[in-house]
Amino acid sequence: MKPYTVVWKGPVHKKSGLGRASRAYLRALRRQGVPVSVGSKKDYLTSNAKKALIYHHIPTQMKWKKLRRSYDPIILNTVWETSKTPKSWLSNMNKFDAICVPSQHNKRALRNSGVKVPIYMVPHGVNTREFHPDNKKMSLPGAEGKFIFVSIFGFQHRKNPEGLLRAYWEEFSSEDNVMLVIKTNGYAAYENEKWIKRKIKKYKEKLGIRKNTAPIVIIGKHISEKQLKGLYTLGDVFVLPTRGEGVGLPFLESLASGVPVIATGWGGQMDFLTPTNSFLLSYQLKNPSVSMNSSHAISRKFSNLFAQKGQLWAEPHLISLKANMRRAYENPELCRAKGRQGRKDMLRFSWDRAGKLMKHSLETVIRSKK
């Protein structure tokens, strides 16, 4: 293999799940001996080396003439949640030399959207040394001795916060020894913890629920990595009735922490969720606009991305969600068994594995460009 260098353009400085994944991919490549610089081609470029770009952003507004003068090849590393990508992506995606995606769900979505260039599978990993069952549990008033449901998500419609809240309120009362802990965040300055709590309160009133419901704790502020790890281990089960995930990083982290998952049986997470490590929800595929236009919608919609003609995502059945939450609550030993299996399963999903697969994909593309 002739010498080559790589420039990584991605959200490596962001605190989001996408940012964390971008940093993890970058470090994984470096551990494989790949010379990678971030955002600029100056650091590693030499006159006799092939110059490759890995672009980990939304593939729009690409300046192709300028990029082609500087790099060969140009690879897109992307992720998507519904059955098809936004229409504005397609013309640019087919100009890349190849695309790396983290799940079979993504590969199907890109092919369904009309992508013709080579697609390589480079799954996300999870650091099982950092996320493990022995992490000290987050200290939370009132949580001791209760069965804890934990959920972590951005406060947007795709994550189905209204479905989770409604199922919990309708299925459990103050007589059940349970607690739901939600770590969430908004997407604008005004979408803070107070705003989110107000949205949730209004939704409960809208549903006409006045009975003494089981407690919910909303964490809408930033927490440290140490607190995040302890939040997973605080839970007896992780629950997220998502409508669509490209991967579902919290699912990986929860399983690595020895905590089983209640999740929708459709999406990128189905590459690693199984009946032995999870409680899988039944669903129906629908266009996102159906639930977005429902009176139940309470969070940011991103309809410009998700509600285009031909797009589908999963609408998990409320009755399935309620039944599986009840089943988990009434069978703590089953939860522990699924959690042990999940931990075992995640030992195969390392970021080093991701780095090796990305390096192989990169070098395959470089060789094809001779």
Query: What share of the chain in percent tops pLDDT 70?
Result: 98
> Which of 23-37, 47-61, 82-96, 190-204 is predicted least confidently?
47-61
- Mean pLDDT across the stretch 312-320? 98
Domains of the chain and CATH, by start: 6-125+350-368 (3.40.50.2000), 147-347 (3.40.50.2000)
* Whole-angstrom distance, CA of residue 121 vs CA of residue 107: 8
* 232-278 tens-digit pLDDT: 999 999 999 999 999 999 999 999 999 999 999 999 999 999 999 99
The pLDDT value given to residue 43: 45
* Whole-angstrom distance, CA of residue 94 vs CA of residue 215: 49
* Whole-angstrom distance, CA of residue 314 vs CA of residue 324: 17
Amino acid letter for position 102: P
pLDDT at 217 > cutoff 50: yes
State the pairing for strand pair 283-286/313-316. Answer: antiparallel
Q: Model pTM?
A: 0.94
Among 199, 196, 194, 182, residue whose Cα is nearest residue 140: 182
* Whole-angstrom distance, CA of residue 56 vs CA of residue 143: 39
